[in-house]
Amino acid sequence: MNDGYSKTLQDIASSEPTPGGGSVAAMALAHGHALAVMVSRLTLSREKWIDGHEAARVVIALSEEGMSDSMAMADADAESFDMVMQAYRMPRNNDDEIALRKTAIRMATIGAAKSPLSIARASQALLDSTLELAKFGNSNALTDLAASAELARASYIIASMNVRINLDSIDGDVSDVISTELSSIGDAVDGSYAEISAIIKERLGW
């Protein structure tokens, strides 16, 4: 592990509110993508796993970009929370300032809910993409693929909590739309995760 990795961990461990849980969810997702790419490459490296080659190519196409996208989402999540904090620090010395501050807080909070929603959405995409790889990929790397699925699911769970905590401060149609999408993503994540886990356990004889 290099110094940059250690620095990131120290930043998370600091008393500053960012990077926080949402950023960690995105970083967990990045690791899930990385493991999925590794399993895909190990599948492509042998003709023995030719039935999984196409699935491996699909995963690589998504997850190579997914790694960088996930790290960008980690930064975006921290920035969205910083925007909320900035809005709360706005002056409120008169009615105009109070109204402006209230609007800024609402808009920033909506952004802070949408940011982890994007992470949750991407977590579902990773799980969906690895289903065929679980069926036909290199059996010697199935525990790594299982780890990828665990990380994607954990990323969703953490991200969903960050969505919900922000929704508590938002009312109206925006809250309903975000909540509905999050619920749909959660159902899809649960279904894909359960199917991948069952396939891997069956192939391993566990």
> What CATH number did the domain enclosing 171 receive?
1.20.120.680
pLDDT on residue 177:
97
Give 133's pLDDT tier (boundaries 50, 70, 90).
very high
Q: Identify the domain containing residue 169 by its residue range.
A: 17-204
| Confidence tier at 173 by pLDDT (50, 70, 90) | very high
Answer yes or no: is 58 within a domain. Answer: yes
Whether residue 178 has pLDDT greater than 70: yes
**Token pair of 38 as six digits:** 């590794």
Q: Is it the case that residue 118 has pLDDT exceeding 90? A: yes
**Helix, strand, coil percentages, rounded to 5, for the chain:** 85, 0, 15
Q: Is residue 3 part of a domain?
A: no
Span 35-61, mean pLDDT?
98
Residue 7 included in any domain:
no
Residue 63 forms part of a structural domain: yes
Which pLDDT value is given to residue 172?
87
Nearest partner of 137 among 39, 59, 62, 45, judged by Cα: 39
The pTM assigned to this predicted structure is: 0.94
CB count within 10 Å of CB 114 equals 17
| Count of the separate structural domains present in the chain | 1
Is there a cis peptide before residue 19, judged by omega within 30 degrees of 0? yes
2 within domain boundaries: no
Is the confidence at residue 13, as pLDDT, over 70? yes
pLDDT at 1 over 70: no
The answer to whether residue 9 is domain-embedded is no
Evaluate whether 139 touches 203 at the Cβ level (below 8 Å).
Answer: yes
pLDDT averaged over the chain?
Answer: 96
5 in a structural domain: no
Determine, yes or no, domain membership for 6: no
